[in-house]
Structure 1
Amino acid sequence: MTILHIQRTSAFYKNDFAQCVATVQSNDALVLIDDGCYNVTHSLFNTLKSLHADVKVFHIQEHAQARAIKIINSQSQPIAMAQLVELTFEYDSTITWQ
């Protein structure tokens, strides 16, 4: 069963991202939205990538831009909100971490 994880909060503020990292499996995907975009600069993001290098990671481009976060495309793929809706149909289940 594949899961689309949607991370809305920053690991610099709440512990949700640590729980998300502990839950993610190899065939899952992660979308960083809202303040969750900050997590690409958190050490837990590197932990996630080292544990599950094949996990697809996306971020809402407009949300990262609004927070002046420069995300290297090899770390996370930029998408629009409409693409997030499409992703929800590609996975068996969705978990929103907020």
Structure 2
Amino acid sequence: MSTLHVLSRSPFGDDRLSSCLRVIGANDALLLSGDAVYALQPGTAPFNTLNSRALNLFVLAEDVQARSIETPDWAKAINYPAFVELSIHHDKVNSWL
């Protein structure tokens, strides 16, 4: 069974990203949206943590573009239709509210 974990809050305001990374499984995927894409700012602790993990990491292209953040080569930028497909592909979706 696989889970798509969806984070939308900044990793600098709370510990949702850390909590998510503690439970994420090998078949799971992580989608960063909204302010969660700030985790992709090079040189930050969240960036280094994500870079060091072998994750299926996705980001909403609209959100990284709106915040002028580049998508690293170890993450895949997707649009909303691809987000829907990703949700359908996984058995569960867990939004970290």
Is the TM value for this pair above 0.5?
A: yes
Structure 1, gaps ≥5 residues long: none
The answer to whether the Cα contact below 8 Å between 1:40 and 1:75 also exists between their aligned partners in 2 is: no
Matched to 2:45, the amino acid is S
| Partners of 1:3 and 1:29 within 8 A in 2 | yes
Task: Look up the match of 1:82.
Answer: 81
CA RMSD of aligned residues (A): 1.5
2:48 equivalent to 1:46: yes
Over residues 9-66 of structure 1, what are the superposed CA-to-partner deviations in whole Å (9 max), with x where a residue is unaligned? 1111121111111111111101110011111234234334434x1x211100011111
- Give the paired residue count: 95
1:31 is the counterpart of 2:31: yes
1:2 and 1:92 in contact (8 A); partners too:
yes
Q: TM-score, normalised by structure 2?
A: 0.87
1:64 maps to: 64
